[in-house]
A and B are shown apart, each in its own frame.
Chain A
Amino acid sequence: MTLYILCFILFLVGIYGLVISRNIIKMVISLTIVEISIFLMLIMIGYISGGIAPVVFDQQILDNQAVVDPLPQTMVLTAIVIALATNSMLLTMAIRLYKKYGTFDIHEISKLKG
């Protein structure tokens, strides 16, 4: 149970970093930390102690041994691909913002008011 609470603390650390950062790249890194904490939590949920990896060739193994839950692993794979798309789009926006405004500081990039 303490492991799950540590994952949640990592989640909160990432959100704190997102709120506090002034640099765009630090915001992207904080968002990555939030994502990674959720992946860790997903994998830990599927763990059964004493289980083998879910690659099974004959049926008799399943009667004697516990197998780790494969569904959260699939979810993590898909979520990693989504996180890749998020990060690459954010970094592209960061490059273009630097070309237009000349700075990475989020307090200076405020042409739209209200």
Chain B
Amino acid sequence: MSVIVRKIAQLLSAMIFVFGMYIVTHGHILPGGGFSGGVLLASAFIVLSLAQGKDHIQLKRQKKITSLYESLSILLVLLLGISGLFAGSLFLFNNYLPKGQPGELLSAGNIPIYNILIGVKVAATLFAIFLALTTYKEEIS
């Protein structure tokens, strides 16, 4: 892609990334949360990859690292869900951290942590799907 497209993509992807983080972390106050914020985070990476092209980015190495992020974050979600069983209560996905005032950023117990982990997971998944579809030609040729 030409120089203009690459520079604008670099600027834009930074803004998209920050906006995605805003949607993810404010999931318990505003509409949004893990899924939609994760899609935005992934699109920041995808716009950057599409603009730079295959020659500048090592797509295979990125595929391995992205898969690792994906597995780690969903494993942490499950472990967080089970940790309620060890903290004494009987239930899965129990909300046991202290809940503050409704409307504050640090409130609602476990839920912001779940939002952040799910955001990372969805972003990693979508970016991994994108990488798998674009590196397919390299595998067979």
**A residues with CB within 8 A of B:** 53, 55, 57-58, 77, 80-81, 88, 91-92, 95-96, 99
Give CA–CA (A55, B27) in the complex, Å: 11
What DSSP secondary structure best describes chain A's contact surface?
A: helix
Tell whether, in the assembled complex, residue B35 and residue A77 are in contact, meaning their CB atoms are under 8 Å apart. Answer: yes
* Residue from B35, B102, B132 within 8 A of A57 (CB atoms): B102
**B residues with CB within 8 A of A:** 29-31, 35-36, 102-103, 122, 129, 132-133, 136, 140
Closest 10 CB pairs of A and B: A57-B103, A88-B129, A57-B102, A77-B35, A81-B35, A95-B136, A99-B140, A55-B31, A92-B133, A95-B133
Give CA–CA (A93, B129) in the complex, Å: 13
Q: Please indicate the chain B residues that have their CB under 8 angstroms from the CB of A80 in the complex.
A: 35
* Residue from B30, B36, B129 within 8 A of A55 (CB atoms): B30
